[in-house]
Amino acid sequence: MSKIILTGDRPTGRLHVGHYVGSLRRRVELQNSGEYDKIYIMIADAQALTDNADNPEKVRQNIVEVALDYLSCGLDPEKSTLFIQSMIPELTELTFYYMNLVTVSRLQRNPTVKSEIQMRNFEASIPVGFFTYPISQAADITAFKATTVPVGEDQMPMLEQCKEIVHKFNTVYGEALVEPEILLPDNKACMRLPGTDGKAKMSKSLNNCIYLADTPEEVKKKVMSMYTDPDHIRIEDPGKLEGNCVFTYLDAFCKTEHFAEFLPEYNNLSELKEHYQRGGLGDVKVKKFLNQVLQAELEPIRQRRKEWEKNIPAVYEILKKGSEEAQKVAAQTLQDVKNAMKINYFDDNNLIKEQVEKYK
Protein backbone atom coordinates (compact mmCIF):
# COMPACT_ATOMS: atom_id res chain seq x y z
CA MET A 1 0.00 0.00 0.00
CA SER A 2 1.27 3.51 -0.73
CA LYS A 3 2.37 5.64 2.17
CA ILE A 4 0.64 8.98 1.94
CA ILE A 5 0.87 11.98 4.23
CA LEU A 6 -1.74 14.68 4.62
CA THR A 7 -1.60 17.49 7.12
CA GLY A 8 -2.25 21.19 7.30
CA ASP A 9 -2.78 24.38 9.23
CA ARG A 10 -5.45 27.02 9.55
CA PRO A 11 -4.28 30.29 8.04
CA THR A 12 -5.18 32.58 10.93
CA GLY A 13 -1.72 33.97 11.59
CA ARG A 14 1.96 33.48 11.01
CA LEU A 15 3.36 30.18 12.24
CA HIS A 16 5.40 30.12 15.45
CA VAL A 17 8.10 27.95 16.97
CA GLY A 18 5.40 25.76 18.57
CA HIS A 19 4.17 24.83 15.09
CA TYR A 20 7.77 24.31 14.10
CA VAL A 21 8.80 21.78 16.76
CA GLY A 22 5.31 20.27 16.95
CA SER A 23 4.94 19.62 13.27
CA LEU A 24 6.81 21.60 10.61
CA ARG A 25 10.29 20.31 11.40
CA ARG A 26 9.00 16.74 11.30
CA ARG A 27 7.22 17.29 8.00
CA VAL A 28 10.42 18.41 6.38
CA GLU A 29 12.25 15.36 7.74
CA LEU A 30 9.49 13.06 6.50
CA GLN A 31 9.56 14.79 3.13
CA ASN A 32 13.31 14.32 2.83
CA SER A 33 13.28 10.74 4.12
CA GLY A 34 12.00 9.54 0.75
CA GLU A 35 9.80 7.01 2.54
CA TYR A 36 6.50 8.49 1.43
CA ASP A 37 4.89 8.12 -1.95
CA LYS A 38 2.94 11.37 -1.68
CA ILE A 39 2.90 14.30 0.71
CA TYR A 40 0.01 16.77 0.78
CA ILE A 41 0.23 19.92 2.87
CA MET A 42 -3.01 21.85 3.04
CA ILE A 43 -3.73 25.43 4.00
CA ALA A 44 -7.07 24.94 5.73
CA ASP A 45 -8.77 28.21 4.83
CA ALA A 46 -12.28 26.75 4.83
CA GLN A 47 -11.73 25.39 8.32
CA ALA A 48 -10.33 28.75 9.41
CA LEU A 49 -13.57 30.35 8.24
CA THR A 50 -15.61 28.13 10.58
CA ASP A 51 -14.68 30.43 13.44
CA ASN A 52 -13.74 33.51 11.44
CA ALA A 53 -16.85 33.87 9.34
CA ASP A 54 -16.94 37.61 9.91
CA ASN A 55 -13.30 38.04 9.05
CA PRO A 56 -12.53 36.45 5.69
CA GLU A 57 -9.90 39.09 5.06
CA LYS A 58 -7.79 37.77 7.90
CA VAL A 59 -7.87 34.30 6.37
CA ARG A 60 -7.15 35.67 2.91
CA GLN A 61 -4.11 37.63 4.13
CA ASN A 62 -2.67 34.72 6.06
CA ILE A 63 -2.68 32.20 3.22
CA VAL A 64 0.51 33.60 1.80
CA GLU A 65 2.04 33.98 5.29
CA VAL A 66 1.56 30.31 6.00
CA ALA A 67 2.81 29.35 2.54
CA LEU A 68 5.94 31.47 3.11
CA ASP A 69 6.48 29.78 6.47
CA TYR A 70 6.15 26.36 4.83
CA LEU A 71 8.61 27.15 2.09
CA SER A 72 11.09 28.78 4.43
CA CYS A 73 11.09 25.75 6.74
CA GLY A 74 12.16 23.62 3.81
CA LEU A 75 8.97 22.17 2.41
CA ASP A 76 9.82 21.71 -1.22
CA PRO A 77 7.08 22.00 -3.86
CA GLU A 78 8.98 19.47 -5.98
CA LYS A 79 8.51 16.88 -3.27
CA SER A 80 5.34 17.95 -1.46
CA THR A 81 2.03 19.16 -2.85
CA LEU A 82 1.06 22.43 -1.18
CA PHE A 83 -2.56 23.42 -1.75
CA ILE A 84 -5.51 25.46 -0.51
CA GLN A 85 -8.49 23.63 1.00
CA SER A 86 -11.28 25.76 -0.49
CA MET A 87 -9.96 25.15 -4.00
CA ILE A 88 -11.06 21.52 -3.69
CA PRO A 89 -14.90 21.53 -3.77
CA GLU A 90 -14.89 17.71 -3.54
CA LEU A 91 -13.96 18.08 0.14
CA THR A 92 -17.27 19.77 0.90
CA GLU A 93 -19.17 17.11 -0.96
CA LEU A 94 -17.45 14.33 0.98
CA THR A 95 -18.19 16.20 4.21
CA PHE A 96 -21.89 16.26 3.37
CA TYR A 97 -22.06 12.48 2.99
CA TYR A 98 -19.94 11.83 6.08
CA MET A 99 -22.27 14.02 8.15
CA ASN A 100 -24.82 11.22 8.06
CA LEU A 101 -22.39 8.90 9.79
CA VAL A 102 -21.78 11.09 12.86
CA THR A 103 -24.13 11.97 15.70
CA VAL A 104 -24.50 15.33 17.39
CA SER A 105 -23.65 13.80 20.75
CA ARG A 106 -20.44 12.34 19.33
CA LEU A 107 -19.39 15.79 18.12
CA GLN A 108 -20.28 17.27 21.50
CA ARG A 109 -17.93 14.81 23.16
CA ASN A 110 -14.92 15.74 21.00
CA PRO A 111 -12.54 17.26 23.59
CA THR A 112 -10.80 19.60 21.17
CA VAL A 113 -14.11 21.00 19.93
CA LYS A 114 -15.30 21.29 23.53
CA SER A 115 -12.34 23.35 24.66
CA GLU A 116 -12.36 25.46 21.51
CA ILE A 117 -16.03 26.27 22.07
CA GLN A 118 -15.13 27.49 25.55
CA MET A 119 -12.13 29.48 24.37
CA ARG A 120 -14.24 31.26 21.77
CA ASN A 121 -17.23 31.84 24.05
CA PHE A 122 -19.39 29.97 21.59
CA GLU A 123 -21.34 28.17 24.35
CA ALA A 124 -24.56 30.06 23.68
CA SER A 125 -24.43 29.96 19.90
CA ILE A 126 -22.09 27.59 18.14
CA PRO A 127 -21.83 28.05 14.38
CA VAL A 128 -22.88 24.77 12.76
CA GLY A 129 -19.87 24.85 10.46
CA PHE A 130 -17.54 25.11 13.42
CA PHE A 131 -19.31 22.36 15.31
CA THR A 132 -18.94 20.00 12.40
CA TYR A 133 -15.38 20.78 11.41
CA PRO A 134 -14.10 17.40 12.65
CA ILE A 135 -16.21 15.86 9.89
CA SER A 136 -14.73 18.16 7.29
CA GLN A 137 -11.29 17.29 8.62
CA ALA A 138 -12.09 13.62 8.05
CA ALA A 139 -12.93 14.54 4.46
CA ASP A 140 -9.55 16.30 4.10
CA ILE A 141 -7.71 13.23 5.29
CA THR A 142 -9.67 10.55 3.46
CA ALA A 143 -9.88 12.46 0.16
CA PHE A 144 -6.17 11.86 -0.26
CA LYS A 145 -6.28 8.29 1.11
CA ALA A 146 -3.76 9.46 3.68
CA THR A 147 -2.12 6.74 5.74
CA THR A 148 -0.19 9.09 7.99
CA VAL A 149 -1.23 12.39 9.56
CA PRO A 150 1.60 14.18 11.37
CA VAL A 151 0.00 16.65 13.77
CA GLY A 152 0.16 17.90 17.34
CA GLU A 153 -1.43 16.16 20.27
CA ASP A 154 -4.45 18.48 20.23
CA GLN A 155 -5.47 16.89 16.94
CA MET A 156 -5.76 13.40 18.41
CA PRO A 157 -9.57 13.61 18.88
CA MET A 158 -9.91 14.66 15.22
CA LEU A 159 -8.03 11.58 14.11
CA GLU A 160 -10.17 9.39 16.34
CA GLN A 161 -13.32 10.78 14.78
CA CYS A 162 -11.88 10.36 11.34
CA LYS A 163 -11.13 6.70 12.00
CA GLU A 164 -14.68 6.17 13.24
CA ILE A 165 -16.09 7.73 10.10
CA VAL A 166 -13.86 5.57 7.90
CA HIS A 167 -14.85 2.47 9.81
CA LYS A 168 -18.54 3.28 9.61
CA PHE A 169 -18.36 4.15 5.93
CA ASN A 170 -16.49 1.00 5.01
CA THR A 171 -18.89 -1.14 7.06
CA VAL A 172 -22.04 0.39 5.63
CA TYR A 173 -21.03 0.94 2.00
CA GLY A 174 -18.01 -1.29 1.41
CA GLU A 175 -14.29 -0.65 1.65
CA ALA A 176 -13.62 2.61 -0.12
CA LEU A 177 -11.73 4.63 2.48
CA VAL A 178 -8.32 4.27 4.10
CA GLU A 179 -7.91 4.46 7.86
CA PRO A 180 -5.20 6.96 8.79
CA GLU A 181 -2.64 6.81 11.58
CA ILE A 182 -1.66 9.83 13.63
CA LEU A 183 2.04 10.62 13.89
CA LEU A 184 2.82 12.59 17.06
CA PRO A 185 6.04 14.47 17.85
CA ASP A 186 8.49 12.09 19.52
CA ASN A 187 9.72 14.50 22.19
CA LYS A 188 7.45 15.57 25.01
CA ALA A 189 8.63 19.19 24.94
CA CYS A 190 7.66 19.32 21.28
CA MET A 191 4.14 18.03 21.91
CA ARG A 192 3.02 21.26 23.39
CA LEU A 193 5.57 24.00 23.56
CA PRO A 194 4.40 26.53 26.18
CA GLY A 195 4.21 30.25 25.56
CA THR A 196 7.17 32.41 26.61
CA ASP A 197 5.14 33.42 29.69
CA GLY A 198 4.90 29.81 30.87
CA LYS A 199 1.22 29.51 29.92
CA ALA A 200 0.31 26.15 28.46
CA LYS A 201 -0.48 27.37 24.98
CA MET A 202 1.13 29.81 22.63
CA SER A 203 -1.44 32.15 21.28
CA LYS A 204 -1.41 35.36 19.41
CA SER A 205 -3.90 36.96 21.76
CA LEU A 206 -1.71 36.22 24.80
CA ASN A 207 1.27 37.76 23.04
CA ASN A 208 3.51 34.88 24.17
CA CYS A 209 4.68 33.46 20.83
CA ILE A 210 8.00 33.44 19.05
CA TYR A 211 7.22 33.57 15.34
CA LEU A 212 9.32 31.96 12.65
CA ALA A 213 9.41 35.31 10.91
CA ASP A 214 10.56 37.28 14.01
CA THR A 215 13.79 39.24 13.62
CA PRO A 216 16.88 38.17 15.61
CA GLU A 217 16.28 41.15 17.94
CA GLU A 218 12.66 40.19 18.58
CA VAL A 219 13.64 36.60 19.33
CA LYS A 220 16.35 37.71 21.74
CA LYS A 221 14.03 40.09 23.55
CA LYS A 222 11.39 37.39 23.97
CA VAL A 223 13.92 34.85 25.21
CA MET A 224 15.47 37.24 27.72
CA SER A 225 12.04 37.94 29.23
CA MET A 226 10.92 34.30 29.37
CA TYR A 227 9.27 32.79 32.40
CA THR A 228 11.65 30.61 34.46
CA ASP A 229 11.50 29.49 38.09
CA PRO A 230 10.01 32.30 40.20
CA ASP A 231 11.79 30.98 43.32
CA HIS A 232 15.20 31.05 41.68
CA ILE A 233 16.09 34.49 42.92
CA ARG A 234 19.81 34.46 43.59
CA ILE A 235 22.27 32.60 41.37
CA GLU A 236 23.22 30.32 44.28
CA ASP A 237 19.61 29.20 44.79
CA PRO A 238 18.70 25.76 43.47
CA GLY A 239 16.45 26.07 40.42
CA LYS A 240 13.46 24.04 39.28
CA LEU A 241 13.03 22.63 35.78
CA GLU A 242 9.30 21.87 35.94
CA GLY A 243 7.33 24.63 34.33
CA ASN A 244 10.55 26.48 33.51
CA CYS A 245 10.08 27.36 29.86
CA VAL A 246 13.70 28.10 29.15
CA PHE A 247 14.47 24.45 29.80
CA THR A 248 11.38 23.24 27.98
CA TYR A 249 12.53 25.20 24.92
CA LEU A 250 16.01 23.74 25.29
CA ASP A 251 14.46 20.26 25.39
CA ALA A 252 12.71 21.04 22.14
CA PHE A 253 15.54 22.80 20.30
CA CYS A 254 18.93 22.03 21.77
CA LYS A 255 21.28 19.56 20.10
CA THR A 256 24.44 18.25 21.76
CA GLU A 257 26.57 20.06 19.13
CA HIS A 258 25.23 23.38 20.39
CA PHE A 259 27.26 22.95 23.60
CA ALA A 260 30.60 22.66 21.80
CA GLU A 261 29.64 25.71 19.77
CA PHE A 262 28.08 28.03 22.34
CA LEU A 263 28.63 26.71 25.86
CA PRO A 264 31.69 24.47 25.99
CA GLU A 265 31.78 24.32 29.82
CA TYR A 266 29.02 21.73 29.58
CA ASN A 267 28.94 18.56 27.51
CA ASN A 268 25.21 18.25 27.20
CA LEU A 269 21.81 19.37 28.40
CA SER A 270 21.71 16.99 31.39
CA GLU A 271 24.87 18.59 32.80
CA LEU A 272 23.39 22.03 32.39
CA LYS A 273 20.15 20.94 34.07
CA GLU A 274 21.99 19.36 36.98
CA HIS A 275 23.94 22.52 37.59
CA TYR A 276 20.78 24.59 37.52
CA GLN A 277 19.04 22.30 39.99
CA ARG A 278 22.06 22.29 42.29
CA GLY A 279 22.26 26.07 42.31
CA GLY A 280 24.97 28.40 41.09
CA LEU A 281 23.71 28.82 37.53
CA GLY A 282 21.94 32.05 36.67
CA ASP A 283 18.91 32.40 34.39
CA VAL A 284 20.62 34.97 32.21
CA LYS A 285 23.35 32.55 31.19
CA VAL A 286 20.83 29.85 30.28
CA LYS A 287 18.71 32.35 28.38
CA LYS A 288 21.70 33.59 26.41
CA PHE A 289 22.45 30.02 25.45
CA LEU A 290 18.83 29.37 24.43
CA ASN A 291 18.93 32.52 22.35
CA GLN A 292 22.00 31.26 20.49
CA VAL A 293 20.40 27.86 19.93
CA LEU A 294 17.19 29.43 18.61
CA GLN A 295 19.01 31.87 16.38
CA ALA A 296 21.05 29.02 14.88
CA GLU A 297 17.88 27.11 14.06
CA LEU A 298 15.84 30.10 12.88
CA GLU A 299 18.44 31.96 10.82
CA PRO A 300 18.32 29.65 7.76
CA ILE A 301 14.53 29.79 7.90
CA ARG A 302 14.59 33.61 7.95
CA GLN A 303 17.03 33.69 5.04
CA ARG A 304 14.88 31.41 2.91
CA ARG A 305 11.82 33.48 3.81
CA LYS A 306 13.54 36.65 2.59
CA GLU A 307 14.23 35.00 -0.75
CA TRP A 308 10.64 33.81 -1.21
CA GLU A 309 9.27 37.20 -0.11
CA LYS A 310 10.93 38.65 -3.21
CA ASN A 311 8.88 36.32 -5.37
CA ILE A 312 5.32 36.28 -4.10
CA PRO A 313 3.77 35.47 -7.52
CA ALA A 314 5.82 32.26 -7.54
CA VAL A 315 4.37 31.34 -4.15
CA TYR A 316 0.81 31.72 -5.49
CA GLU A 317 1.77 29.73 -8.57
CA ILE A 318 2.98 26.87 -6.34
CA LEU A 319 -0.33 26.89 -4.46
CA LYS A 320 -2.30 27.00 -7.70
CA LYS A 321 -0.45 24.09 -9.24
CA GLY A 322 -0.68 22.13 -6.00
CA SER A 323 -4.41 22.79 -5.75
CA GLU A 324 -4.97 21.60 -9.32
CA GLU A 325 -3.14 18.39 -8.59
CA ALA A 326 -4.89 17.84 -5.26
CA GLN A 327 -8.30 18.45 -6.86
CA LYS A 328 -7.78 15.58 -9.29
CA VAL A 329 -6.92 13.19 -6.48
CA ALA A 330 -9.91 14.25 -4.38
CA ALA A 331 -12.21 13.91 -7.42
CA GLN A 332 -11.15 10.28 -7.82
CA THR A 333 -11.89 9.54 -4.16
CA LEU A 334 -15.25 11.24 -4.39
CA GLN A 335 -16.04 9.03 -7.37
CA ASP A 336 -15.06 5.94 -5.32
CA VAL A 337 -17.24 7.14 -2.46
CA LYS A 338 -20.24 7.77 -4.68
CA ASN A 339 -19.82 4.42 -6.38
CA ALA A 340 -19.70 2.71 -2.99
CA MET A 341 -22.88 4.56 -1.98
CA LYS A 342 -24.39 3.84 -5.41
CA ILE A 343 -24.82 7.49 -6.15
CA ASN A 344 -23.99 6.77 -9.77
CA TYR A 345 -27.40 6.84 -11.41
CA PHE A 346 -26.19 7.71 -14.87
CA ASP A 347 -23.31 5.25 -15.11
CA ASP A 348 -25.17 2.23 -13.82
CA ASN A 349 -26.81 0.28 -16.66
CA ASN A 350 -28.22 -2.22 -14.19
CA LEU A 351 -30.17 0.50 -12.47
CA ILE A 352 -31.91 1.47 -15.71
CA LYS A 353 -32.64 -2.17 -16.52
CA GLU A 354 -34.03 -2.69 -13.06
CA GLN A 355 -36.38 0.24 -13.41
CA VAL A 356 -37.44 -0.87 -16.87
CA GLU A 357 -38.30 -4.31 -15.41
CA LYS A 358 -40.23 -2.69 -12.59
CA TYR A 359 -42.51 -0.87 -15.05
CA LYS A 360 -43.06 -3.74 -17.43
Binding site for ligand TRP (CB under 6 A): 6-10, 44, 47, 137, 140-141, 149, 151, 155
Question: 3-class DSSP state for residue 84?
Answer: strand
Give the nearer residue to ligand TRP in terms of CB position, either 8 or 18.
8
Give the nearer residue to ligand TRP in terms of CB position, either 11 or 77.
11
Question: 3-class DSSP state for residue 40?
Answer: strand
**What sign has the CA pseudo-torsion 202, 24, 21, 290?**
negative
Q: How far is the CB of 306 from ligand TRP (least distance, A)?
A: 25
If phi > 0 it is left, if psi is from -120 to 50 it is alpha, else beta; for residue 198 that is: left
Give the nearer residue to ligand TRP in terms of CB position, either 153 or 309.
153
C-alpha–C-alpha distance, residues 178 and 138, integer Å: 11
C-alpha–C-alpha distance, residues 92 and 68, integer Å: 26
Give the nearer residue to ligand TRP in terms of CB position, either 47 or 110.
47
Confirm if 112 and 158 have CB atoms less than 8 A apart. Answer: yes
Q: How far is the CB of 46 from ligand TRP (least distance, A)?
A: 9
Q: How far is the CB of 149 from ligand TRP (least distance, A)?
A: 5
Give the nearer residue to ligand TRP in terms of CB position, either 162 or 281.
162
C-alpha–C-alpha distance, residues 271 and 252, integer Å: 16
Q: How far is the CB of 158 from ligand TRP (least distance, A)?
A: 6
Question: 3-class DSSP state for residue 170?
Answer: helix
> 278, 255, 281, 279: which is closest to 268 by C-alpha?
255
Residue 8 C-beta-side C-alpha neighbours within 13 Å: 29
C-alpha–C-alpha distance, residues 202 and 56, integer Å: 23
φ and ψ at 50, to 5 degrees? Answer: -65, -25
Q: How far is the CB of 8 from ligand TRP (least distance, A)?
A: 4
Q: How far is the CB of 32 from ligand TRP (least distance, A)?
A: 20
**69: amino acid identity, one letter:** D
Give the nearer residue to ligand TRP in terms of CB position, either 6 or 254.
6
Give the nearer residue to ligand TRP in terms of CB position, either 156 or 341.
156
Q: Which residue is nearest to ligand TRP (CB)?
A: 44
Q: How far is the CB of 151 from ligand TRP (least distance, A)?
A: 5
